[in-house]
Amino acid sequence: MSSDNLPQSPEQPPRKPRVAVVFGGRSSEHGISVVTAGAVLRAIDRTKYDVLPIGITQDGRWALTADEPDRMAIVDRRPPNVAQLAESAEGGVILPVDPANREVVHSEPGSVPKALGEVDVVFPVLHGPYGEDGTLQGLLELSGVPYVGAGVLASAVGQDKEYMKRVFTSFGLKVGPYLVVRPREWQQDEPGARKRIVEFAADHGWPLFVKPARAGSSIGITKVSDPADLDEAIAEAQRHDPKIIVESLLRGREIECGVLEFEDGPRASLPAEIPPPQDQAYYDFDAKYIDSTPGLVPAPLTDEETAEVRRLAVEAFDAASCEGIVRADFFLTEDGEFVINEINTMPGFTPISMYPKMWEATGIGYRELVDLLIEAALRRPTGLR
């Protein structure tokens, strides 16, 4: 029989890129990360990508989880956690650290490790330390796996409020007055550190905001109006980070702006305004995620103010060497000046979060936004760039 008459095997369809959505983590923002992951999993285009959900438990175990976004929601004011979603209470997922091998493996005690296939890109939706601060990004760089969002340096800068402000100042961006108390100073000279804070308040006025220097989602923050309340506020901040930052109150409007990386460079969304919440002293965790205080999108600004805050948001993105995604938060002071408060290199990313709502107002819906972020990560090489 000639080869022309042999039955032809059907061509295999090309393999779809596989996206590992990594979420959870060891920080106090664990639950919000799970909520974000549920929204991302629901939005990823399954006709274009295969998806592998990987949760990191609060004690640091990497677990294979069910691909069930509906279980990743806040119920009765309680955020979800990875332990509820993990397919196994033991064992874990092992990510390769060999750039020539992107095979992910799942191992359990007493069982032969199971190959889960190669991963082409990681979508890390972790918030806070051990995920958004450059640690996970460093692991992915070692692995040679492309990933969504900022690299090691920008992630670290974006997590540490002190060095973020130092970077912004060096690039000419205006920041508000602040003071940093490092762990050693508090341990060795607690009265001196307390005196410094009171002197700072004498210069800039009460109230003050006492914050963990390397945390997010408004966790661990206390608004302090009297020196008698300082110790309790410091203790609360130090529960989340031994380094604290103290900021003065900036009187004005709270304005946010999203930045997204396109092929031709970063662009800014229409901005949003966060009105003061009715029942909280400031825009805290409950206002953001539990009560979902609605923002004004787009912000009621003049054309000139809108153009200026969009320009400044891109400047902040570039100043910190960011990639992919950033939400830049500003205050528009009473004298009409924009002061940058901070950037978030992996902002809240549920459909009701401000970042996607700003882009929706700019003409890019949630599903398209997720797709653009994955495409940007696949375009970008790992390593120094």
Place of tokens 């002061």: 339
Q: Residues of the chain with pLDDT > 70: what percent? A: 89
Local structure of residue 12 (DSSP, 8 states): P
Q: What integer pLDDT is reported at residue 117 of this predicted model?
A: 80
Q: What integer pLDDT is reported at residue 101 of this predicted model?
A: 76
The Cα-based distances of 231 to 42, 55, 208, 214, 283 in angstroms read 44, 36, 13, 19, 22
Average pLDDT on 100-111 reads 75
Q: How would you classify the pairing of strands 18-24 and 50-56?
A: parallel
**Predicted confidence band at 12 (pLDDT cuts at 50, 70, 90)?**
low
Q: What integer pLDDT is reported at residue 9 of this predicted model?
A: 53
**Predicted confidence band at 104 (pLDDT cuts at 50, 70, 90)?**
confident
* pLDDT digit string, tens, across residues 215-238: 866 789 999 999 999 999 999 999
Q: What integer pLDDT is reported at residue 205 of this predicted model?
A: 95
The Cα-based distances of 70 to 42, 83, 85, 106, 198 in angstroms read 8, 15, 11, 24, 48
> Residue 130: CB partners within 8 Å, gap ≥ 6?
25, 26, 27, 56, 60, 136
User: Which strand ranges, in their side-by-side order, compose the sheet holding 92-94?
Assistant: 92-94, 103-107, 114-118
Mean pLDDT of the chain: 89
* Model pTM score: 0.88
Q: Residue 105 forms beta bridges with which residues? A: 94, 115
* pLDDT digit string, tens, across residues 66-97: 899 999 988 887 889 999 898 776 778 887 77
Average pLDDT on 183-190 reads 96
pLDDT surpasses 60 at 6: no
Q: Residue 52 forms beta bridges with which residues? A: 20
Nearest 5 degrees, angle CA 371-CA 376-CA 378?
95
Rounded CA separation 165/248 (Å):
14
Give the architecture (CATH level 2) of 18-147: 3-Layer(aba) Sandwich (3.40)
| CATH number of 179-248, picked from 3.40.50.880, 3.30.1490.20, 3.40.50.2000, 3.40.309.10 | 3.30.1490.20
Q: DSSP readout, 132-183?
A: TSSHHHHHHHHHT--BSS--HHHHHHHH-HHHHHHHHHHTT--B--EEEE-H
* pLDDT digit string, tens, across residues 335-358: 999 999 999 999 988 888 999 999
Amino acid at 252: G
Question: Each residue of 176-194: b (16+ CB within 10 Å) or e?
Answer: bebbbbeeeebeeeeeebb
Q: H/E element holding 375?
A: helix 366-379
User: Looking at the domain that runs over 159-175+250-379, which CATH code has it been given?
Assistant: 3.30.470.20
Q: What integer pLDDT is reported at residue 2 of this predicted model?
A: 45
Same topology, domains 159-175+250-379 and 179-248? Answer is: no
Q: Tell which residue, 257, 242, 150, has the closest CA to residue 190.
A: 242
Domain locations in the chain as residue ranges: 18-147, 159-175+250-379, 179-248
Q: Residues of the chain with pLDDT > 90: what percent? A: 72
Q: What integer pLDDT is reported at residue 292 of this predicted model?
A: 57
